[in-house]
Amino acid sequence: MAEIEQRIEENEERLRLAIETTQLGTWEWYPLTGKLNWSPECKRIYGLDPDAEVDFSVFADHIVPADKDMVTDAIEAALDPDGGGNYDVTYRIIRFDDKSIRWIHPKGKVFFNKNRQAERFIGTVVDISVYKAFEDSLRENEQRARLAIDAANMGTFDWDLTENRFFSSTRLLEIFGFGENEEDVSHTDLIGRIHPDDKAVRDRAVKDALTEGGLEYEARVIWPDQSVHWVRVYGKLSENSEDEIKRMYGIAMDITEEKSQEAMLQRIVAEKTLSLMQSNQELKKSEERYARMAEEVQDYAILLLSTEGIVLNWNKGAERIKGYKESEIVGKNFRIFYRPVDQQDKLPDRLLHKARTEGRAMHEGWRVRKDGTTFWGSIVITALHDDQNNVIGFTKVTRDLTERKLAEDKLQQYTKELEAQNKELEQFAYIASHDLQEPMRKIQTFTEVLDKNIDEPAVARKYLEKINSSASRMSQLIRSVLEYSRLSVTYTVMEPVDLNTTLENVKTDFELLISERKVEIRSSGLPVVKGVPLQLHQLFANLIGNAIKFSEKNPVVEISARKITAADPPPYPGLRAGEKYTEITVADNGIGFDQKYASKIFTIFQRLHGQKAYPGTGIGLALCKKIVENHYGAIGVESEPGKGTKFFVYLPDNPPGSEPAAIQPGV
Amino acid sequence: MVYFFVDDDADDQEIFGLAIAELDGTATCRFANDGLEALEALQDESFTPSLIFIDLNMPRMNGNECLAELKKLERLSKVPIFIYSTSSDPKLIAASKALGADDFIVKPSGFQALTEILKKLTQ
């Protein structure tokens, strides 16, 4: 023992010297950014130049493969926010320069930020190859010593195979359950104590030992009190060629305690494994059932999306509703189901964002099928989370509600039409009660006055004339109202109308007035539009008639037209964006009016001027508005007193219910 | 008695004049063609009508607008103002009364009917 102590002392002294001559390297690592700094000494230990670049792979790639797991475990333990953050490990590296293997001993400490994330990991490192060599020799010595101490608890045997004599120590007999006083315990007695189930193990081990030299087995022995004890036996075959004696000597130890712990562990592991396997199988079954169910559902498109919105699976409903086969769509972004305008508007991204932040996003809107047709979809996107509440994907359920939507739209359209008709009826009631009554009232009143003056022919004639003019005004009003009411008949057939022809026809109508008032009508190459020829004639007649009527000098009427492309913003409130329109302008040099009356002048029976100065029914512009609306267009006006008036008419190139526009001459 | 009649319809002006002449040979009638013209006439402070009749549907300034302006004139505070219209729409009648019209007269169909209404108002 004194010799061992002396050697330990010697070794320790040499170790101290070795450490003194060994420089301490320092290092720091920032796990969040991956940044790694090594001191020059640290690099020297690895056989690197002091100014060499280092990164994590330099560190990881030079661990001796056999030590890699150990180092990884140590780092993981240190990075665990619930641990102490300490790192202390000894392992081998392969140096860069000479590829020699060195033992190093880094020690470190991890600093966590307030989010419990490992932020900074710093430490030192020493090359302990010298130390390690001595430590190993130390350990060997220690092991020898322990062996000696443990020997007390071991039974020993010596088996002369040549003579078949078996010597066993008292401890060995104890291990096999024989009492202190029992003598003459034979080898057969000992073997007899071995558990019947383990006899074969022992026999095989002995047989192998005779050919290979080493004996090692574990077996149960049954003591007389029926208690079961585990025994481990080591032995070595010794062949002496000189005296031809074949011996096997060895030890046996009681490992019952070790075994019972192991057995318990094994049982726990086995139980755990079994229950895991069972629940796994159940989970698999329910997953399968669920997957099959989702697959078979036809009325809903049920799909899984990745966090980026990539389609991961597809069901029958999705195929039925959207028209894609599974192989055509899996791996594509779900954006493809949205109209270009919605994609531009980032609707799919917004829905995904909402689902990510709020857990769920619901939406109804037009979606695009594979063949380009659209359907009205009602969708729910739900975020899927892992145990740490991270979003790992989404489910998306889509229903095709096109039929419902169309029915709703139709209903809304009917309601709108009904409302409009109602409003029109109200206006007609107003006309009937008010404007049509006025000439009637006058006829009645003047008849009475005429009656009073029936004996004075001159006075009587005056009132007869008044009666007559009231009657003709009444018939003019009735005619206009009739004309206006005829416009209420929708579903008129639209056809290409050359506005140049229309204008010529109107000019012919006004021939007399034009020459009397010396009217100048200017126009240049008007386009062909889609419309009802008679209505467009009425429109031009009213606008041009108005321009002539409300003018004090020689009227100049200028008619022009220009195209408004789909890219232009809607030219007038209420018109549709992305639609092509023709803008027709009718400008005059007449008396004009204050712009504040602009909206009033299109109302039926609204007049800005006295009957005496500018006679009229108050229906003309209401008629124009009605005609333009029948053509799905709009009419507007710009005016200033004394500066003339400009009417703008907007007619769509492709009004609903008409064939696509034919080739039209340029404007 | 001085009657002020505001209406853009020349026929109605004539009928009104005839009715007043039949009721009271000494009475005079003054006419305006719309609200603005009426306000202009009343700029002359020596002109204070005994009764004012205003049509509703007139160009430039309509009857109710004119009524609202006249109600601002202190010197007319004791002069009865009537709205005189073809319409019998309750909404229009309520609007005029709210603006301070003393009454709303629907233009009658017949000369006799008109003289009777005017007779009642002047009694």
Whether A611 and chain B come into contact, CB under 8 Å, resolves to yes
Average pLDDT of chain A to the nearest whole number: 83
| Encoded tokens for A41 | 């000494």
**What pTM does this model have?**
0.42
Whether A449 and chain B come into contact, CB under 8 Å, resolves to yes
Residue ranges of domains in chain A: 23-127, 154-254, 297-400, 491-652
Length of chain A: 667
Does domain A23-127 correspond to CATH entry 3.30.450.20?
yes
CB contact under 8 A, B11 and A449: no
Whether B91 and chain A come into contact, CB under 8 Å, resolves to no
What confidence tens digit (pLDDT) does each residue in A431-467 have?
666 677 788 888 999 999 999 889 999 989 999 998 9
Of A448, A609, A612, the CB nearest to B110: A448
Q: Is residue B14 part of a domain?
A: yes
Would you say residue A405 has pLDDT above 90?
A: no
Find the closest chain A residue to B16 by CA distance.
A445
Confidence of residue A663 (pLDDT cuts 50, 70, 90): very low
Confidence of residue A146 (pLDDT cuts 50, 70, 90): low
CB contact under 8 A, B18 and A466: no
Nearest by Cα to B83 from B41, B58, B123, B52: B52
Of B15, B86, B111, the CB nearest to A434: B86
Would you say residue A374 has pLDDT above 80?
A: yes
pLDDT number for residue A660: 42
H or E element: which one contains A608?
A: none
Q: Is residue B114 part of a domain?
A: yes
CATH of the domain at B58: 3.40.50.2300
Equal fold, A154-254 vs A491-652: no
Q: Is residue B49 part of a domain?
A: yes
What confidence tens digit (pLDDT) does each residue in A550-592 have?
888 889 999 999 988 877 777 777 777 778 899 999 999 988 8
Whether A433 and chain B come into contact, CB under 8 Å, resolves to yes
Which residues of chain A make contact with B58, given a CB cutoff of 8 A?
A: 610
Find the closest chain A residue to B60 by CA distance.
A608
Could you tell me if A614 and A549 are in contact, meaning their C-beta atoms sit under 8 angstroms apart? Answer: yes
pLDDT number for residue A270: 77
Q: What Cα–Cα distance (Å) separates residue A646 from each residue in A364, A580, A641, A649, A661?
A: 43, 22, 12, 10, 27
pLDDT number for residue A469: 87
ipTM of the complex: 0.85
H or E element: which one contains A366?
A: strand A360-368
Of B9, B59, B111, the CB nearest to A448: B111
Q: How many CB atoms are closer than 10 A to CB A577? A: 10
Minimal C-alpha gap between B111 and chain A (Å)? 5
Mean pLDDT on A43-59? 85
Q: Give the integer Cα–Cα distance in Å for A174 and A223.
A: 10
pLDDT higher at A348 or A300: A348
In this structure, the dihedral spanned by the alpha carbons of residues A433, A439, A441 and A444, taken in order and rounded to 10 degrees, is -150
Tell the CATH topology of A491-652: Heat Shock Protein 90 (3.30.565)
Burial class from Cβ neighbours inside 10 Å (0-12, 13-18, 19+) for residue A184 reads exposed
Could you tell me if A230 and A256 are in contact, meaning their C-beta atoms sit under 8 angstroms apart? Answer: yes
CB contact under 8 A, B33 and A610: yes
CB contact under 8 A, B89 and A442: no
Q: Give the integer Cα–Cα distance in Å for A23 and A7.
A: 26
Whether B50 and chain A come into contact, CB under 8 Å, resolves to no
What confidence tens digit (pLDDT) does each residue in A162-182 have?
888 888 888 888 889 888 777
3 state SS for A30-53? ECCCCEEEECHHHHHHCCCCCCCC
Q: Is residue B15 part of a domain?
A: yes
Q: What Cα–Cα distance (Å) separates residue A626 from each residue in A424, A488, A619, A622, A623?
A: 11, 8, 10, 6, 5
Confidence of residue A665 (pLDDT cuts 50, 70, 90): very low
Could you tell me if B76 and B38 are in contact, meaning their C-beta atoms sit under 8 angstroms apart? Answer: no
Whether B112 and chain A come into contact, CB under 8 Å, resolves to yes
| Exposure b/e, A51-60, CB count within 10 A at least 16 = b | eeeeeeebbe
Would you say residue A24 has pLDDT above 60?
A: yes
Mean pLDDT on A291-296? 70
Mean pLDDT on B66-72? 92
Q: Give the integer Cα–Cα distance in Å for A193 and A179.
A: 13
Could you tell me if A385 and A378 are in contact, meaning their C-beta atoms sit under 8 angstroms apart? Answer: no
pLDDT number for residue A20: 44
What confidence tens digit (pLDDT) does each residue in A606-623 have?
666 666 566 677 778 888
* The CATH number of the domain covering residues in A154-254: 3.30.450.20
pLDDT number for residue A598: 83
What confidence tens digit (pLDDT) does each residue in A183-225 have?
788 888 899 999 999 999 999 999 988 888 888 999 999 999 9
Burial class from Cβ neighbours inside 10 Å (0-12, 13-18, 19+) for residue A293 reads exposed
Confidence of residue A12 (pLDDT cuts 50, 70, 90): low
Whether B123 and chain A come into contact, CB under 8 Å, resolves to no
pLDDT number for residue A22: 54
For domain A297-400, the CATH class is alpha beta
Of chain A, the percentage scoring pLDDT greater than 70 comes to: 87
pLDDT number for residue A661: 38
Whether A462 and chain B come into contact, CB under 8 Å, resolves to no
CB contact under 8 A, A441 and B57: no
Query: How many independent structural domains does chain B possess?
Result: 1
Which residues of chain B make contact with A605, given a CB cutoff of 8 A?
A: 57
Rg (chain A; Cα; Å): 53
Of B88, B109, B111, the CB nearest to A440: B109
Of B18, B34, B88, the CB nearest to A610: B34
Which domain, by its residues, includes B37?
6-122
Q: Is residue B1 part of a domain?
A: no
Nearest by Cα to A543 from A584, A595, A488, A498: A584
